[in-house]
Structure 1
């Protein structure tokens, strides 16, 4: 498959952004310890980028914990409403809360509550008419893709039915990556795509394909239908008219939320250990740096007493001992 650039001339605008959520209540175990963001001065030189990455990781994990705690509390309240209140209204209220997941967790939790420390939760989806079966049957055809703000500079591939599924995925991925969309396989091995959750509304509303008249119409870009991958928690599918089934769905959601909470808690524990290790390493490095500088100043002054003491100290040290010390891992000598 070959890539080329074509001009579609089609403009698309995304839907509105999600609103924020007020998180107030928690009854899950409290987040691990007290993990403070690492101050820029804690680590030196080449560790500054690591320091910044750790700060983002901790901040994202804390927001995820906050959302999961609130979700847990709301699910318990929802369970009570199903047995003695306005079940339909309660389900609708929780569904609205759940729709704010991405914004409330700062993009760190995807639809299945998998945690992404770099705030790059993605939305997986399929495209109607694009499957291994349709692409590997029929004649050769050139397909051009356009998404939203990239619609003026679309990417194209030539569909070759003789190519393997892996080659098809690779070609589609190369064509769509500049638009923020990645081609992949889903859990069942079928052709799928994913995009950052923050870009999903735009892709959903503007993804268009122009074909050669075989699989897709020729001559102009046509908006294609996307199908969101099934998610583990789908409150919109819970049925107030069937309380027993709804309670089962809530129980399953509870298990997933608590499992995700444990995973994120583990991330915070690792971050706390990294902070402790980084502080100890920095302190040790500062000590030896200061020692070396002080000793160098002493020798530079020509202090005969210090020089004589040094000669006596190192005179009995063999080359093998020095080599072993230099080769030893930090903290083992």
Structure 2
């Protein structure tokens, strides 16, 4: 609802303020031919009627705030990935030099770089923006923890088919969700059926790159899931967290000569991690640009708002009595919080 200030004559007592839906927001000087008390009463009524548009703008402010959070998260992810990329490049150079036997292949330098990378990876949940998983993959969704359920794999499930499996998640048992597995279902169909059953509990199922069954849940939910999954007929089951592909803290780089095979494996892990980091940087950059564009669009005032601003400016430029009455009528009841909410949209 937009507020229109217009003269209204009622029994010759004075000007009042009227509101009507879908009217353009134009400020019109109110002619007063009655007492000041009449005008004050009318302006008080108008201030109550004008609250709705500011509440609507408050909703837009919340949307803009959510977009700003997305921008901040993507920027934080990019900063973290840049730091990891630089450390991986340094490690790649040290490992290559050591394998080549050049003078630059210092054991001490290699150990220092490996420790630095391990520390940075350990800080991922705090400094990575919440959307980078332990394998350095970026997503606009919260990072997930992948895991397996011991004894629950594609081979054993299909061997026991036809089969009905019920799952529950929660320390008190929680609601149970069941799924039917038929002998003629493919591995992918089995995974999709399990995923549909577990999704309401915040857990998902899929096949990994080797065709094995793997489960996942948001990292923020992992602590409440890992020890509370129950399967019909087996009770609580054991979950096994899948470790990160890159684990520099486990590398054997402490000897002067070093194990050539171990060093080559470490180099392969570094190269593969660099490829994932570069893909994640591209994805985070695209997400940042998209969110920034949405923030810009949300901050652009609609045409009616621009017209209202122009009209208000014209009335404010006049210092005659009628203009002052119109301005006072428009500003009665406008609090500091409402002004800040409007400014937040710009």
Superposition TM-score, scaled by structure 2 size: 0.56
Give distance in 2, aligned partners of 1:225 and 1:46. Answer: 42
Any conservation in 2 of the 1:56–1:117 contact (CA below 8 Å)? no
CA distance in 2, matches of 1:261, 1:139: 43
Q: 1:127-172: CA deviations, max 9, x gaps?
A: 232233322323655544344x444325252644347356644553
Number of the residue aligned with 2:84:
71
Q: Which has the larger radius of gyration?
A: 2
Kindly tell me: are residues 189 and 277 of structure 1, through their superposed partners in 2, closer, same or farther at Cα, counting changes over 3 Å? same
Q: Out of 202, 205, 208, which is 1:183 matched to?
A: 205
1:131-150 equivalences in 2 (<5 Å): 131-138=153-160, 143-147=165-169, 149-150=170-171
The alignment covers a number of residue pairs equal to 242
3-state SS in 2 of match to 1:282: coil
1:157 and 1:171 in contact (8 A); partners too:
no
The offset of 1:54, in angstroms, is 0.8
- Residues 80 and 202 of structure 1: is their aligned pair in 2 closer, same or farther, counting only changes over 3 Å? farther
Cα RMSD of the aligned pairs, angstroms, is 3.7
- Residues 123 and 196 of structure 1 are in contact (CA less than 8 Å); yes or no, is this contact kept in structure 2? yes
Q: In proportion to residue count, which structure has more helix?
A: 2
**Alignment CA distance shift 1:255-1:58 (3 Å):** same
In 2, Cα distance between the equivalents of 1:262 and 1:140? 45
The TM-score, its normalising length taken from structure 1, stands at 0.58
Matched, 1:247 2:267: yes
1:108 corresponds to 2:131: yes
Q: Counterparts of 2:93 and 2:223 in 1: how far apart (Å)? A: 34
CA distance in 1, matches of 2:179, 2:230: 16
User: Is the contact made by 1:98 and 1:235 (CA closer than 8 Å) also made in structure 2?
Assistant: no
Unaligned stretches of 5+ residues in structure 2: 1-53, 96-104, 314-346
